[in-house]
Structure 1
Amino acid sequence: MPPNRPLILFWTRWFKKAVDLDAIPRCDFPVEWTNDRSRLAEAVAVIFHVPNFEEIADARKYPGQLWVAWSMESIVNYPVLADPAFMRHFDIVMTYETGSDVWSPYLPGAGWWDVVRHKPIPPKVERAPAVHFQSSSFNKSGRDKFIAELSQHIAVDCYGRYQPNRQIAGPDLGPQTKLETIGRYPFCLALENSIAPDYVTEKMFDPLAAGTVPVYLGAPNAAVFVPTAAISMLHPSARRRSSPPISVI
C-alpha cells in the first residue's frame, strides 16, 4: 500500500447493507476505503449515509477530520437533511441537490444521451399503453392516487415489489431486464416518491434509455436535467390540490 494514502471510512450502512467498497469508481487520487469502524481515528474523512442517521450517535469526531453527510434520498422523505441542529455536525454535504458541496445526481454518465438517441426504438408489443415500476411504498408525491385514477381509463402494467399486476417473464437480470421491459411499451409512468427540486431519479432516465416516453411526476425543475423540452399537462385533480404538473418529456 502506498505510504500516506488517505483513509475514508463509511461509518453507517447503506440502508440494511454495508457499503460495497468494490463498487466505488476509481479515484484519480489514490485513497483507501473502509467499513471498519475500529479505524475511525485514522480516517481523514468519515461518510455517514443520512437515511441511517440513527447509527451516527456513537461516532466520535477527531481533530482535523472531515465528516460527510451523504444521501441520494429526497429531503421530503428524510427531513433531517433540513434540520440545522443535525446538519451542523458535518463539514461536507453530498446529495442530489445542485447546491450541495458535492453534487451527486442520478444523471447517467457523460455522453449517455448521444448513445441513447442513436439506438433503434424497440417495437411496442404490449397491449397496455403504459408501464410502471415501483418497489417502495413511499408516496409523498401522490403517485398511488394518480395510478389508481389513470387505471380507470387505460391499462397500466405495474411491475416491482409494490402492488404489481404483472410479473417479469423469464429470468430477471436486473437493470437490463427492466429496460427491456419498459422498451416494450409506448409510455412509462415515471413517478417520483416525493416532490422536491433537483430530485430527478432513474424514474426519468430509465424510460429514455429504453426508447419509451416518460410521463413524469416529480421535481418542478425536471426539464433542466433532460435534453428535451417538457410539455406540462396538468391533471384536473392536480389543479384542485395545487400539485406539480404531470409532464410528458
Structure 2
Amino acid sequence: VDIAAIPACAVPVEWTNDRRRLAEAAAVVFHLPDYREIGDARKYPGQTWVAWSMENPQNYPRAAAPGFMRHFDLTMTHESGSDIWTPYLQNASWWEAIRNSAIPSKTESAPVVRFQSASIDLSGRGAFAAELAGHIGVDSYGRYRPTRQIEGPDLGSQTKIETIARYHFCLALENSIAPDYVTEKIFDPLCAGSVPVYLGAPNVGEFVPANSYIDATAFGTPAELAAYLRHLLETPSAYEAYFAWRSQP
C-alpha cells in the first residue's frame, strides 16, 4: 500500500508499513489476497485486525472461510454488508466533472473496445467477447490476448481513458459475478464518454445512472447484442440517449 496516497484523516493517526512496529499498532490492516502475511503476525492485546479486500471472494475463497476470517475483528471490502464499505464507486466530484465534459469524437473504425490484462475468468467473459467479435468489430488492448497496441507513450489510466474515448462502446466485463462487485470496468468508459456493455454484478444499477450502460445479459446471444449495437450506430438519437444522464441532476 502506498502510505502517502492515503487521504488525510479527521483524527490524528499515523500509518506505517514497518512490521517491526506491529506491537505499537492500535489497528492492523491485512490485504486478504496476500493472506500469507498473517502467518507470522502476532495479535497484541487491544488491537483491532481489519480484513481488507477489493476482490470478489469467488477469486479468493479464503476470504469467505470461517476458520480464516475468525482472526479479524472488522471487514473492509466492496460488499455493502461489510463493517467498513469501500466500493469502487466514485465520489460526487468525479461524476460532476464527467457531466461537465464534452463527449469525445468516435474516430476508430471498430465500434467496440476491450481492455483486459488478467486471465481470471469466472464470468465467462472470454467466450462472450470472442463470440461477440465474430459479429462486430472489437479492438482488444491490454496484456491478455491484445489485437491492438497503445500508440505512443502509455501513461497508465490516462492513456486507457483516452483510448476508450475513441470508441462508441466499451466491453465492461467483470472477471467474476457477484452482488456489489462493480469495478472500474464500468466506471472507466463512463468517464471516457463511451457506452459500457456490462457483464457482471446483478445490482450494477445501484452504482451507475439509469440508462447509462447496456446490460449484456438482456440479450439471448452475443449475435443479438451485436445487432443491437449496430442499430445504435445507425440510429444516432438512440445512441445519444445513453448520455442523457449527463444533463440530469
| TM-score exceeds 0.5 | yes
Which of 76, 79, 88 aligns to 1:106? It is 88
Pairing partner for 1:44 from 7, 23, 26: 26
1:209-248 correspondence runs (5 A): 209-229=191-211, 232=215, 233-237=217-221
Q: Distance in 1 between matches of 2:221 and 2:141?
A: 25
Number of residue pairs matched? 222
1:218 offset after TM fit, Å?
0.3
Task: Please name the residue that 1:82 is paired with.
Answer: 64
Q: TM (normalized to structure 1)? A: 0.85
Partner deviation per Cα, 1:104-152 (whole Å, 9 max, x = no partner): 0101122322221221110000000100011111000000000110011
Kept after mapping to 1: 8 A contact 2:108/2:167: yes
Instruction: Give 1:75 shift.
Output: 1.1
Q: Which runs of 5+ in 2 are unaligned?
A: 223-238, 243-249
Question: TM (normalized to structure 2)?
Answer: 0.85
Deviation at 1:167, TM superposition (A): 0.6
- 1:133-172 to structure 2, matched below 5 A, reads 133-172=115-154
Establish whether residue 196 from structure 1 lines up as the match of residue 178 from structure 2. Answer: yes
Q: Deviations over 1:151-177 (max 9, x none)?
A: 111111011111111011111111111
Q: Deviations over 1:54-111 (max 9, x none)?
A: 2211111011000000000111101112111111110110000001011001011223
Structure 1 residue 57 and structure 2 residue 39: aligned? yes
**Runs of 4+ that moved beyond 6 A:** none
Q: Aligned to 1:178, what secondary structure does the other structure show?
A: helix
Give the Cα separation in 1 of the matches to 2:28 and 2:96.
37
Moved more, 172-181 or 185-194: 172-181
Counterpart-to-counterpart distance in 2, 1:38 and 1:134: 38
Q: How many Å separate the matches in 2 of 1:114 and 1:38?
A: 43
Tell me the amino acid that sits aligned with residue 79 of structure 2: E
Identity across matched positions, percent? 65
Counterpart CA distance in 1 for 2:181 and 2:92 is: 19
5+ long unaligned stretches in structure 1: 1-18, 239-247
Q: What's the secondary structure of 1:127's corresponding residue?
A: coil
Deviates more, 1:212-221 or 1:75-84: 75-84
Paired AA for residue 28 in structure 1: A
C-alpha displacement at 1:231, in angstroms?
A: 5.5
Distance 2:219 2:59 in 1: 24
Higher helix share: 2
2:128 partner SS: helix
- For residue 236 of structure 1, report the CA deviation from its aligned partner: 2.8
RMSD: 1.6
Give the residue type in structure 2 aligned to 1:33. W
* Greater share of strand: 1
Q: Distance in 2 between matches of 1:40 and 1:56?
A: 12
